[in-house]
Homo-oligomer: A and B are copies of this chain.
Amino acid sequence: MNEVFRALGDPTRREILTLLKRRDMTAGELAERFPLAKSTLSGHFNVLRHSGLIVSERHGTTIVYSLNLSAFEEALSAVMDLLHAGRPRPERKR
């Protein structure tokens, strides 16, 4: 969860996510949308992947990135926890 928030902390990464919410995209397609070096974008992909917010799948020479919805669910309920004061969430043992 810590990783998720850190990942969401960068504007470029959030924009990557909003692009991916429309459709899956390859690393190259995504990189085209930004005025940054491909290597820089690749770094962002790594952060997002480690946070669990996106997943990657190799197709031949290209790598397709897509959103991992369940990671978003977690982020969502984390913010909700912060919101709904005094109501400790059950679940999640240990």
Q: Which residues of A contact B (CB under 8 A)?
A: 2, 5-6, 8-9, 11, 14, 17-18, 21-22, 67, 69, 72-73, 75-76, 79-83, 85-87
Contact = CB atoms under 8 A, between A and B. Distances in A.
A74 to B, nearest CB: 10
Contact of A76 (B11, B79, B87): B79
Given A5-B8, A5-B9, A9-B5, A79 B87 contact: no
Given A5-B8, A5-B9, A82 B72 contact: yes
Contacts of A6: 9
A2 B80 CA distance: 18
A21 to B, nearest CB: 4
